Amino acid sequence: MTSLANQILSHWNYLAVITLMMIGLYIAISRGNLVKKVMGMSVFQTSVILLYVSMAKVTGGTAPILIEGRDDIIYSNPLPHVLMLTAIVVGVATTALGLALIVRINEAYGTVEEDEIVAMDRAEDERDLRSEDAS
Amino acid sequence: MSDLASHLPVLQVLIPLLAAPLCFLLRKEAIVLPFTIAVSFACFAISMNLLSQVLGGDILVYEFGGWSRPYGIEYRVDILNAFVLVVVSGIAAVVFAVGPGQARRVIPEGREYLFYSAALLCLTGLLGVTITGDVFNIFVFLEISSLSSYILIALGLNRRALMAAFSYLIMGTIGATFLLIGIGFMYQATGTLNMVDMAHRIQVLGPTKGVLVALAFVMVGISIKLAVFPLHHWLPNAYSYAPPLVSAFLASTATKVAYYLLIRFTFGLFGAALVFETVGIDRLLLPLSIIAMFVGSIAAIYQTEFKRLLAYSSIAQIGYMTLGLSFATQAGVSAGLIHVFNHALMKGALFLVAACVTWRMGGTNLDVMKGLGQRMPFTMAAMVVAGLALVGVPGTVGFVSKWALVSAALEVDALWIAFLIMASSILALVYVWKVVEIAYFQTPEVELERREPPLRLLIPTWILAGAAIYFGIFSSYAVDVAELAAQQVFMVGL
Amino acid sequence: MGGEFTGPFVEMLLFIFMIGMALYIARMRSLFTAAMLFGIFSLLSAGMLTLMDAVDVAFTEAAVGAGISTVLFLGALGLTTSEEAPDSKHGWTALLIVTATGLLLAYAALDMPAYGDPNAPIQLHVAPHYLKDSEQEVGIPNVVTSVLASYRGYDTFGETTVVLTAAVGAILLLGGGVGRVGAGKGRDDEGGRRMSDTPIKMRVRETVILRVVGKALVPFILLFALYVQFHGDYGPGGGFQAGVIFAAGLILHALIFGLDALRRAIPQVVVEIGIAAGALIYGGVGVASMVLGGEFLHYGVFDRHNPAHGQHLGILLVEFGVGITVTFVMVAIFYAFAGRSRQ
């Protein structure tokens, strides 16, 4: 049991990040409001950034900006930082596109609640069916 | 490095990538359309050249920035991805010529060039994902193709296209983020992002918990993109509400690239031994593939809209591809790859038929297609040809696929699977016949004169439909390449 | 300063706050509140990133997450609704999926090297090369910039293209505020209320202090953006951050002097040309290196005698390209949202 406790202690950072990721994923898949879905997605993506950067951290290290004439300094790993800069950009691009779609959906349906949109589509289908039967 | 030939791998992606912002500057559709067509033809020519270079078994490597593996990013062309490059750029070359079609009505005035820009970006992303030898680069280009396909899908005429694009955006982003998490765990375990380097290190490591969880996340992420049953819910709406030309392009390329990724990660990164023997993914993939074959086909039978019918049929056809992979044999992978090529031709042709019907009738509900056999004979003939291919009638590409799949099934002594493949073909016959019956044997409500769509629509449709017959009769070209690709995948693993 | 001891404590506190924020975002019915909470969440994560030595990432996260994303959320809310409807469905399936996923991740995470372990595989392979040799091979002290713009410069080109794609989407979907919009439903743009007339903005325009302070701030923001643009080699910063900040300055200008003033200064056509120009500069640098006999983005060929000098030049140019594209993309997205009338 102590070994598990020890492991949790030495990995607490990862566990906290995973908790955040899961809250984000939960918001993205469980909410009916489209704006909320996008927010959840953003929380999910931001947390993945923390996951990568956690991997890069070296205890006692510093930011990977070289200081001339010193070779006794420990630097954290720059590669995950680079990858996550890209991921942030991808994230904001997705958010912008998702929100642009939401604006258009709201104009077309008058709502941004998934249930209501599904109900409107279904009503439309039934109306079409009925008019077909009538003719 | 100065001669042009050595730069071909990068030019494959760079040409459409630079063409996309150039569309912003050219602006006039009269210039942008021929420009886009020229770019897609250049891509196709390059991919054919790359394929011919690697068929002998050589592997082309291109190191970006002059940085050697594993410090920089590299492109890596072998038979497998050269084959997929040919399929993707070939379809683009045929389909892009058609232009935005009816989507023009929802595009802000004077902004048609952005449609071409989005199409080129989508092509760039798909080609970039296929050709790269770096796992993080896959993620970046996958996002280029995904974002542009959300945009293109949202351009459908029905307001439901917006919701279809949004749902796909959420699912696709979750899929891509899962892939990113998987890549993160792989990186954590190996310290590298280069696929060759990573594969060697994973071999040495063996199935650690990190590698196994990475495998799970990567596979789920790709399966969402590939629309593997039961992660397929985004696909029917996306393909049926998108503009028909967009459906034609995406249905015949996007899922194919996702299938390629599945094969690449299986054999080129985790290794067949780990994926099939240690984890036994085949034991999960096999039943899911078979369910997809039947659920997709049965759902297709009940559809009342042509494009939606085709979309459900795609779910079944993706089932055939993953079925091939789940045999975990060279013949199985080869059969899956043959079907990638063949399905791209048939579904491309059928969605282009949908584009023709939309041009004429304003929609693709099956009841507006009543009697179209007499009113649009050339278009409907293409529908019949591609439809028969979908069923798997001898003399068409569909037969070649089914033959390869059945042989692969018999090779592993799975007679019952061979039987199920035949059974699902009968279901395909039912839904194809349903459309044929409506088009040829039902009388339309309003009398229409005979008129075909313009040649810029009809010619691409017939190129693909014709290819579905040509490669059905002269099947050896595609089959040989697919077999060589599968062989290389199994021998080298990379 | 006893960082060894206080470090984890601060980090834990930040995480507790962030988890609290995330849970609040999940529960909040008011979407405006949720958007603001998301901004705070991003800012906290930027703090966390700084503690983990990722200063460049933190800078970007603060500018993008707390800045641009929050503005986008508020803009979209201004055009749609600010209240979430009460939940009608039960989230049990979602909870099940999420719990299973989380447990799977935790299972793998506990097997990873401990947090901060200097002997983890990723600290021993590839990364040491960047830390050890980039100074000599590329010649600039910020290793993140070296890797970003040179070793993995092609990813960054892809990233620039992703941003460009977002602009294509925003303009195609929201019409760039010009011309006809919508699926031929006959809506007219004059009739509706514009986002730039939402209460927040009107208050900015009417409050003298905000107006004066804002007016004074704009040039400094633009200047700071230029500093960030050209200082990326030595400290945290670079084209992306600079572009976001520059765009923020322009957007603030629009909030004070009105959207039309900015539109007159930077018309839509210029914005679109700018978007393309940045990406083409980046690609052009790569093509130039091909013409000079190297691989795509091989900056070393720009100066045969001193490759590190060539690298420096190449990085400067591609970062400039990124900065231009990002600036104009952000402005294009702002135009697209702000020019959209409210139904």
Task: Using an 8 Å CB-CB cutoff, list chain A residues near C84.
Answer: 31, 33, 35-36, 113
CA distance B462 to B352: 9
Name the 3-class secondary structure at C304.
Answer: coil
Any CB–CB contact under 8 A between A120 and chain C?
no
Contact between chains at C125 and B70 (C-beta distance less than 8 A)? yes
Any CB–CB contact under 8 A between A86 and chain B?
yes
Q: Which of B370, B353, B365, B386 is nearest to B441 (CA)?
A: B370
Nearest-CB residue to C165 (from B121, B210, B213): B121
Nearest CA in chain B to A86: B140
Q: HEC string of chain B?
A: CCCHHHHHHHHHHHHHHHHHHHHHHHCCHHHHHHHHHHHHHHHHHHHHHHHHHHCCCCCEEEEHHHCCCCCCCEEEECHHHHHHHHHHHHHHHHHHHHCCHHHHHCCCCCCHHHHHHHHHHHHHHHHHHHHECEHHHHHHHHHHHHHHHHHHHHCCCCCHHHHHHHHHHHHHHHHHHHHHHHHHHHHHHHCCCEHHHHHHHHHHHCCCHHHHHHHHHHHHHHHHHHCCCCCCCHHHHHHHHCCHHHHHHHHHHHHHHHHHHHHHHHHHHHCHHHHHHHHCHHHHHHHHHHHHHHHHHHHHHCCCEHHHHHHHHHHHHHHHHHHHHHCCCHHHHHHHHHHHHHHHHHHHHHHHHHHHHHHHHCCCEHHHHCCHHHHCHHHHHHHHHHHHHHHCCCCCHHHHHHHHHHHHHHHCCCHHHHHHHHHHHHHHHHHHHHHHHHHHHCCCCCCCCCCCCCHHHHHHHHHHHHHHHHHHHCCHHHHHHHHHHHHHHHHHCC
Q: A101, A107, A124: best mutation site toward chain B, by most B Cβ within 10 Å?
A: A101
Contact between chains at B188 and C112 (C-beta distance less than 8 A)? yes
Interface of C with B in 288-327 (CB under 8 A): 290, 293-301
Q: Which of B49, B124, B41 is nearest to C283 (CA)?
A: B124
Say what the pLDDT of residue C187 is. 36
Q: Tell me: cis bond preceding B377? Omega within 30 of 0 counts.
A: no
Distances (CA, A) of C93 to A81, B228, C96: 34, 20, 5
Alpha-carbon gap: C153 to the closest alpha carbon of chain B (Å): 7
The number of beta carbons lying within 10 Å of the beta carbon of residue A62 is 13
- 8 Å CB contact between A55 and A80: yes
CA distance C324 to C331: 11
Say what the pLDDT of residue C202 is. 46
Residues 6+ apart with CB under 8 A from B66: B72, C294, C295, C298, C300, C301
CA distance A64 to C115: 18
Any CB–CB contact under 8 A between C25 and chain A?
yes
Residues 6+ apart with CB under 8 A from B1: B7, C290, C293, C294, C295
Contact between chains at A48 and B181 (C-beta distance less than 8 A)? yes
Give, to the nearest 10 degrees, the angle between helix B112-131 and helix C153-174. Answer: 150
Any CB–CB contact under 8 A between A131 and chain B?
no
Any CB–CB contact under 8 A between C176 and chain B?
yes
Contact between chains at B65 and C159 (C-beta distance less than 8 A)? no
pLDDT over 80 (residue C342): no
Q: Which of B404, B287, B417 is nearest to B341 (CA)?
A: B404
Q: A3, A23, A85: best mutation site toward chain C, by most C Cβ within 10 Å?
A: A85
pTM: 0.94
Mean per-residue pLDDT, A27-40: 93
- 8 Å CB contact between B198 and B184: no
Say what percent of chain C tops pLDDT 70.
87
Nearest-CB residue to A23 (from C26, C53, C61): C26
Nearest-CB residue to B140 (from C162, C178, C287): C162
Per-residue pLDDT of chain B (494 residues; tens, 9 = 90+): 457 888 999 999 999 999 999 999 999 989 999 999 999 999 999 999 999 999 988 999 999 999 998 999 999 999 999 999 999 999 999 999 888 877 888 888 888 999 999 999 999 999 999 999 999 999 999 999 999 999 999 999 889 999 999 999 999 999 999 999 999 999 999 999 999 999 999 999 989 999 999 999 999 999 999 999 899 999 999 999 999 889 999 999 999 999 999 999 999 999 998 989 889 899 999 999 999 999 999 999 999 999 999 999 999 999 999 999 999 999 999 999 999 999 999 999 999 999 999 998 888 899 889 989 989 999 999 999 999 999 999 999 999 999 999 999 999 988 999 999 999 999 999 999 999 999 999 888 777 788 889 998 999 999 999 999 999 999 888 999 999 999 999 887 55
Contact between chains at C296 and B7 (C-beta distance less than 8 A)? yes
The number of beta carbons lying within 10 Å of the beta carbon of residue A99 is 26
Question: How many Cα neighbours within 13 Å face the side chain of C196?
Answer: 22
- 8 Å CB contact between C131 and C143: yes
Q: What is the residue type of C303?
A: D
Q: Which of C332, C262, C275, C258 is nearest to C72 (CA)?
A: C332
ipTM metric: 0.95
Alpha-carbon gap: C23 to the closest alpha carbon of chain B (Å): 19
Q: How confident is the model at residue C135 (pLDDT cuts 50, 70, 90)?
A: confident
Say what the pLDDT of residue C88 is. 61
Contact between chains at C94 and A62 (C-beta distance less than 8 A)? no
Distances (CA, A) of B220 to A31, B296, B340: 21, 20, 20
Burial of C230 (0-12, 13-18, 19+ CB in 10 A): middle
Q: Which of B219, B226, B417, B205 is nearest to B329 (CA)?
A: B417
Say what the pLDDT of residue C198 is. 46
pLDDT over 90 (residue A10): no
Contact between chains at B191 and C121 (C-beta distance less than 8 A)? yes
Q: What is the residue type of B10?
A: V
Any CB–CB contact under 8 A between A34 and chain B?
yes
The number of beta carbons lying within 10 Å of the beta carbon of residue A103 is 26
Q: Is the dihedral of CA B144, B148, B153, B154 positive or negative?
A: positive
Any CB–CB contact under 8 A between A119 and chain C?
no
Q: How confident is the model at residue C6 (pLDDT cuts 50, 70, 90)?
A: low
Alpha-carbon gap: C88 to the closest alpha carbon of chain B (Å): 19
Rounded mean pLDDT of chain C?
85
pLDDT tens readout for residues B437-450: 999 998 887 777 88
Determine the distance from the C-alpha atom of residue C136 to the mean position of all C-alpha atoms in its chain, rounded to a whole number: 30
pLDDT over 90 (residue A36): yes
Q: How confident is the model at residue C90 (pLDDT cuts 50, 70, 90)?
A: low
Render the burial of C173-204: b for 16+ CB within 10 Å, e for the rest: bbbbbbebbbbeeeeebeeeebbbbbeebeee
The CATH number covering residue A37 comes to 1.10.287.3510
Mean per-residue pLDDT, C246-274: 90
Nearest CA in chain A to B155: A101
How many beta-carbon pairs under 8 angstroms link A with C? 303
Tokens standing for residue C78: 């201004």
pLDDT over 70 (residue C192): no
Say what the pLDDT of residue C1 is. 37
Contact between chains at C141 and A36 (C-beta distance less than 8 A)? no
Q: Which position has the higher pLDDT, C37 or C192? A: C37
Q: What is the residue type of B401?
A: S
Name the 3-class secondary structure at A75.
Answer: strand
Element (H, E) at C194: strand C193-194
Task: Using an 8 Å CB-CB cutoff, list chain C residues near A95.
Answer: 69, 72-73
- Phi first, then psi: what are they for B368, rounded to 5°? -80, -10
Q: A97, A99, A120, A132: best mutation site toward chain B, by most B Cβ within 10 Å?
A: A97
Q: Which residues of B touch A (CB under 8 A)?
A: 136, 139-140, 143, 147, 150-151, 154, 159-160, 162-163, 165-166, 169-170, 173-174, 177, 180-181, 184, 187-188, 193, 367
- 8 Å CB contact between B30 and B99: no
pLDDT tens readout for residues B227-240: 998 999 999 999 99
Contact between chains at A100 and C169 (C-beta distance less than 8 A)? yes
Contact between chains at A23 and C120 (C-beta distance less than 8 A)? no
Element (H, E) at C193: strand C193-194
pLDDT over 70 (residue C193): no
Mean per-residue pLDDT, C240-246: 93
Residues pairing with C103 in the sheet? none
- 8 Å CB contact between C12 and A8: no
Contact between chains at B187 and A80 (C-beta distance less than 8 A)? yes
Contact between chains at B136 and A86 (C-beta distance less than 8 A)? yes
CA distance A86 to B143: 11
Task: Using an 8 Å CB-CB cutoff, list chain A residues near B161.
Answer: none
Say what the pLDDT of residue B115 is. 94
Contact between chains at A82 and C123 (C-beta distance less than 8 A)? no
Name the 3-class secondary structure at C288.
Answer: helix
Alpha helices in A1-135 (DSSP H): 2-10, 12-30, 34-56, 78-109, 114-134
Q: What is the tally of structural domains in chain A?
A: 1
Nearest-CB residue to A108 (from B159, B174, B188): B159
Q: Taking every pair of C-alpha atoms in chain B, what is the biggest distance, in angstroms?
A: 71
Residues 6+ apart with CB under 8 A from C291: none
Contact between chains at C276 and B24 (C-beta distance less than 8 A)? yes
Mean per-residue pLDDT, C95-114: 92
pLDDT tens readout for residues C270-325: 999 999 999 999 999 999 999 999 999 999 999 988 888 999 999 999 999 999 99
Distances (CA, A) of B33 to B117, B282, C165: 10, 45, 19
Mean per-residue pLDDT, A78-92: 95
**C39 secondary structure, DSSP code:** H
Task: Using an 8 Å CB-CB cutoff, list chain B residues near A97.
Answer: 147, 150-151, 169
Alpha-carbon gap: A87 to the closest alpha carbon of chain C (Å): 8
Task: Using an 8 Å CB-CB cutoff, list chain C residues near A66.
Answer: 131, 134-135, 141-143
Q: Which domain range does residue A61 map to?
A: 2-65+73-134
Say what the pLDDT of residue C178 is. 43
What is the Cα gyration radius of chain A?
23
Residue with tokens 């979430």: C84
Interface of A with B in 59-78 (CB under 8 A): none
pLDDT tens readout for residues B392-439: 999 999 999 999 999 999 999 889 999 999 999 999 999 999 999 999
Determine the distance from the C-alpha atom of residue A82 to the mean position of all C-alpha atoms in its chain, rounded to a whole number: 18
Q: Which of C282, C55, C243, C241 is nearest to C149 (CA)?
A: C282
